[in-house]
Structure 1
Amino acid sequence: MRKRTVFAVSMLVFVGAFLSACFGNGNEEKATSSFGSGMDKFVKLKMIMPGDESPRMREFVDNELNDRLKKDLNMELDLTYIPWANYQQKLEMILSTGEKYDLFWYGTPFVSGYMSQGYIQPLDDLLERFGPDLIANIPNENFKLHRIEDKQWAIPSQAFTSAGKFTSVLVRQDLLEAVGMTEIGTIADLEAFYEKMHGKDPSYYGYLETDRGLDILWREITDKNYTMLDERQLFAVDEDSGELVNYVESELYKQTVKLRESWVVKGIIDKNLVGNPAAKIDQENAGKLLFRVGAVSRAMENWQTAQKADPKARLREYYLSPNKPKYITAPSNEAYMIPVAAENPERAMKFMNWILKSKENYMYIIYGVEGKDYEIDNGKIRLLTNDQLMYEWMWRNTNYFTAPTFVDDKLVDDMLRNDDNAKISKLFGFHFNEEPVKSELAKVLTVYKEKFEPINFGLVGYDEGYADAIHSLKKAGLDRVYEEVRSQYEAFRKKTRDEHE
């Protein structure tokens, strides 16, 4: 708590204002403003989100939502959407130049990097003062995910099932059944699905993201259990031994990219879509993609978009080698951060807290106005508009979750039971501090993008390009980066073991 010396007021008033600021009493703005923090001042909260803003989202924010926020938080939301294909590049430009934004979203793997680059501010004080409902509705383990050097750097907004996230395959179930298949459990099943559907209608694309999804294939390619360290796809952890693995120098890497090569030959990976995120998203939105990387509940999340393109569309998620264990690496991949340049950090935290303050608020910002945007039918949500509002998956919370009517009960049950018998990953809670090898890592990632991504995509053959690629990567400093990651990881493992003894 920040402490201020208060003159010309009685101790009674001081104590009353102090308690009000800490715990709230229905007049939080007024009570906090007695400390001079400016919480009684009307503000415009500038927020950045990924995606394409729908017409209804703009209308909702400008009207109903801002009317509500003016009443409840004495603020209005100034929401800027950046298309997914350009989100990282444009977001980092905004952060690096210190533009005055108050709040933004990105995935968990980016938190430590943005912290080390000085883009974001610690949230401990703000969370303690203005985030009681966040703390009440998000498990403590989720918060630990974003604690680095004993400080909280992000709010893990999602609190839901998460085992095996990004290691499942999302499939157009209706099309799978249309070619006489019922489920996916192997790589051969995926290949057969593509061949049968493409033979029936060549306008459809097979698709497993080429910029990620390697670890989906690991479930079948190897008998071991590996978890990718992060989205850079350089290193992995052997969950059985606890060993850090230099993935790009492993036999597993060779087997995985050779499979990708064969998929280019077969047409499953389309050369016209590789390396063009916008084109891939366009094809998905047009209902032309047969499968992609799943995310535990992506079938439910993408159902609305799929049915907008094709009213008969149904989605389902599957794991290859379904009897292998799933691991919880991060209980939430969603992270809301406050930039160091934010002009309204207190209001940003109060806004996040407001979302989880009640189910009414939660439903309002995600689904809009009851009777206009949605209705409740036998305990489920029936959407009355196809326009996306706030992304539900970014705030999905077990305490408030309500299933949509378009998803059958079995799919919901599978999703809610996803974490049954899951295992905690050896990587849970590990954050790599890039600072000691910042220069080498930058060079390594530049070479990786130039030399390794075409191999990952299947466009350059392993036999043709690997020797030069790994030589260039080592010259850039791969070994130095690996040793630093391994050293930090081993220290983390020792600390974790010591804490549990």
Structure 2
Amino acid sequence: MRKSFSKTLGVFLASIMLVISLGACSSNTGGNDKGAATDHASTQESNTNKGTESLPVVTLNIVYPGDPQPDQDTVTAALEEKLAADGINVKLKYQYIPWGDYYQKLPIMLATGDQVDIMWTDPGLLGTFAKSNSLAPLDEPLSKYGQAITAALDNKYWPPVTINGQKYGVPAGALGTTKGYYTATIRKDLREKYGLPEIKTMDDLLAYAEAVKTNNPEMIVFNEPPAAYHKGEVLQSTSSDGIVFDYKTMKAEAKYDLPGTLEDAKFLRSLYEKGYIDKDVMVGRDIRADFNSGKAAIGGGDVYEYNNYFRNIAVEGAQVEFVKILLTDEPYMPTTTWNFQSVAATSKNIDRAVMFLNWIQQSEDNYDMMTNGLKGTHFDIKDGAIIAPEGVDPSTIGYAPPEWMWQNPNFLKPKASDAPDFMQQLQDFDKDTKLLSPIMSFNFDQTPVKTELAALSAIENKYKYGISSGVLEPEKAVSQYSAELKKAGLDKVIEEFQKQVDAFLASSK
């Protein structure tokens, strides 16, 4: 899925981004003054007597990452018409920033006073912007105008947007955020051809890998290295590849000093030596194309990637199947959601922004229009699934926005092009998860160690991927990596991270 690649890139960039000191003002001229009080009263009356009295028209400036939707203007006009009929009265002005520029341009826009109302944020951006007073706390407007939002989202979704007891964004109702599993897509037709059972364990997966290599020596087995195993331990990644947080000890630890890390590295090296990982793995290529064209037998990724493989595999007679293998003692959630919509502190229309976000969740019709466009033009619904309207080529539909930004699990619908079991796999993915991260709403302030983190990031580029792909000899590479990380200031970063975690945990009691 588009989301998976873009968001992974986004989270990676956010994790290495140094804290930028922003000059955004924390005052709110539109949400707390007398005009806002009038706005509140008018809205309450409008919601009670729809059509008899309306709010003045305001424009919401919305900034999202990615590419503009070709039919955005058409859909926006329809959204504005329905919003006016429902008494919200907002105009929507969208600005899309390419993913590669988003993390650089958005902070500049906020710092220089560009008008921004609603914006997409993730854990890295939200933590940085909240500390610089660039985001509006939304507790009060949510309590007044966010009833549909809070009804749609389980309580578990709110910790990632909460800092020091205040909410700085509206989270998306994500599914499939559990960790502790190895997940991938395999060729079901090949598994059955070789007489192998359904894959439920790592031994089953390795038997499949061996059968592929024996019968199709020209094939790549893994289209990308199965990089993170962490067998048996619940370890949460943090601000650097060199640091993990242990749920049992509640301590930050040096990842490459842990016996399990070396064990994982040796295992990955064995896959590489057996030829299951391509010898040219370090050379950049389109890994999805490897699987979809039949060059690879195991496609790495989550449930969304499985659905993409189902849609795009171009091998005659090929069938795909999702693999989910538990590696830790129990599944766990480091976060319940990665995606938020935040409101700039400088917005003149904070309340109206929340009204709009709430309006999306007020009805299935509103949600479908925001997510799928105009019924009969961009989509239709058949048997509960989104389909292309009759006579419309799906490839020409010009509206497919990032639903994962405002996703509501209650309104989420499968698409006709989805794998038959995709929605069930997605809905079931988190069902056995009871262990949630004890530091889910913790945001690490990188300022005291920003120099060290920059140095650590540079060293990661030398070792991380080579170890995770099995290319580098484990004993030598892991010890060298560990030594260089410590020389660059790893211990100082761990100490600072632990100090802040301890303070967070103490304040959470």
What is the TM-score normalised by the length of structure 1? 0.76
Query: Deviation at 1:159?
Result: 4.6
The equivalent of 1:381 in structure 2 is 386
The equivalent of 2:485 in structure 1 is 473
The equivalent of 1:298 in structure 2 is 304
Residue identity in the other structure for 2:434: K
Query: Deviation at 1:474?
Result: 0.9
Gap change, CA 1:418 and 1:451, over 3 Å in 2: closer
Query: Deviation at 1:237?
Result: 3.5
Whether 1:438 aligns to 2:450 is yes
Any idea what SS the aligned residue of 2:70 has?
helix
- Where in structure 2 are the equivalents of 1:232-247 lying within 5 Å? 232-247=240-255
Using the alignment, how far apart are the partners of 2:42 and 2:352 within structure 1? Answer: 16
Using the alignment, how far apart are the partners of 1:439 and 1:347 within structure 2? Answer: 40
Using the alignment, how far apart are the partners of 1:290 and 1:29 within structure 2? Answer: 62
Using the alignment, how far apart are the partners of 1:286 and 1:107 within structure 2? Answer: 33
1:55-109 deviations in Å (ceiling 9; x for gaps): xx413x1323443335525424435263xxxx3x522211243274554435435
- Where in structure 2 are the equivalents of 1:37-436 lying within 5 Å? 40-42=57-59, 45-50=61-66, 57-59=69-71, 61-69=72-80, 71-72=82-83, 73-80=89-96, 82=98, 87=99, 89-98=100-109, 100=114, 102-116=117-131, 120-125=135-140, 127-128=142-143, 130-160=145-175, 162-164=177-179, 167-177=181-191, 179-180=193-194, 181-197=196-212, 199-200=215-216, 202=218, 206-208=222-224, 213-214=227-228, 217-218=229-230, 222=231, 224-230=232-238, 232-270=240-278, 272-274=280-282, 276=284, 279-280=286-287, 283=290, 290-295=297-302, 297-298=303-304, 301-302=307-308, 305-306=311-312, 309=314, 315-321=320-326, 324-338=329-343, 348-383=353-388, 385=394, 389-405=400-416, 412-425=423-436, 426-436=438-448
Query: Deviation at 1:269?
Result: 3.5
Which shifted more, 281-290 or 174-183? 281-290
Gap change, CA 1:358 and 1:267, over 3 Å in 2: farther
* RCO higher in structure (CA 8 A, sep ≥6): 2
Check conservation: 1:66, 1:77, Cα contact below 8 A.
Answer: no
Query: Deviation at 1:468?
Result: 3.2
Residue identity in the other structure for 1:68: L
Residue identity in the other structure for 2:244: A
Query: Deviation at 1:475?
Result: 1.7
Gap change, CA 1:239 and 1:383, over 3 Å in 2: farther
Check conservation: 1:229, 1:427, Cα contact below 8 A.
Answer: no
Residue identity in the other structure for 1:262: S
Query: Deviation at 1:303?
Result: 5.4
Query: Deviation at 1:31?
Result: 4.9
User: Which of 453, 464, 475 is 1:452 aligned to?
Assistant: 464
Gap change, CA 1:18 and 1:402, over 3 Å in 2: closer
Gap change, CA 1:303 and 1:449, over 3 Å in 2: closer
Check conservation: 1:287, 1:306, Cα contact below 8 A.
Answer: no
Query: Deviation at 1:342?
Result: 6.5
Using the alignment, how far apart are the partners of 2:323 and 2:386 within structure 1? Answer: 25
1:104-150 deviations in Å (ceiling 9; x for gaps): 43543553244446665544455455544222211233122211123
Residue identity in the other structure for 1:21: T
Using the alignment, how far apart are the partners of 1:29 and 1:97 within structure 2? Answer: 42
Using the alignment, how far apart are the partners of 2:119 and 2:40 within structure 1? Answer: 30
Corresponding residue pairs, total: 461
Residue identity in the other structure for 1:19: A
Check conservation: 2:371, 2:403, Cα contact below 8 A.
Answer: yes
Any idea what SS the aligned residue of 1:458 has?
coil
Gap change, CA 1:249 and 1:110, over 3 Å in 2: farther
Check conservation: 1:179, 1:193, Cα contact below 8 A.
Answer: no
Residue identity in the other structure for 2:502: E
Query: Deviation at 1:331?
Result: 1.7
Using the alignment, how far apart are the partners of 1:271 and 1:141 within structure 2? Answer: 43
Residue identity in the other structure for 1:457: S
1:387-417 deviations in Å (ceiling 9; x for gaps): 6712344443232133345557765444333
Gap change, CA 1:414 and 1:466, over 3 Å in 2: closer
Give structure 2 stretches of 5+ with no counterpart: 1-29, 84-88
The equivalent of 2:41 in structure 1 is 19
Using the alignment, how far apart are the partners of 1:404 and 1:148 within structure 2? Answer: 36
Check conservation: 1:209, 1:292, Cα contact below 8 A.
Answer: no
Query: Deviation at 1:151?
Result: 2.6
Using the alignment, how far apart are the partners of 1:439 and 1:152 within structure 2? Answer: 29
Using the alignment, how far apart are the partners of 2:225 and 2:344 within structure 1? Answer: 30
Gap change, CA 1:428 and 1:92, over 3 Å in 2: closer
Any idea what SS the aligned residue of 1:465 has?
helix
Any idea what SS the aligned residue of 1:356 has?
helix
Using the alignment, how far apart are the partners of 1:346 and 1:136 within structure 2? Answer: 18
What is the TM-score normalised by the length of structure 2? 0.75
Gap change, CA 1:3 and 1:347, over 3 Å in 2: closer
Q: Percent identity?
A: 19
Gap change, CA 1:158 and 1:240, over 3 Å in 2: same
Residue identity in the other structure for 2:483: H
What is the alpha-carbon root mean square deviation over aligned residues? Answer: 3.9
Residue identity in the other structure for 1:279: D
Check conservation: 1:285, 1:305, Cα contact below 8 A.
Answer: no
User: Which of 33, 56, 59 is 1:4 aligned to?
Assistant: 33
1:297-329 deviations in Å (ceiling 9; x for gaps): 42565256435x568665544332479421122
Give structure 1 stretches of 5+ with no counterpart: 7-13, 34-39
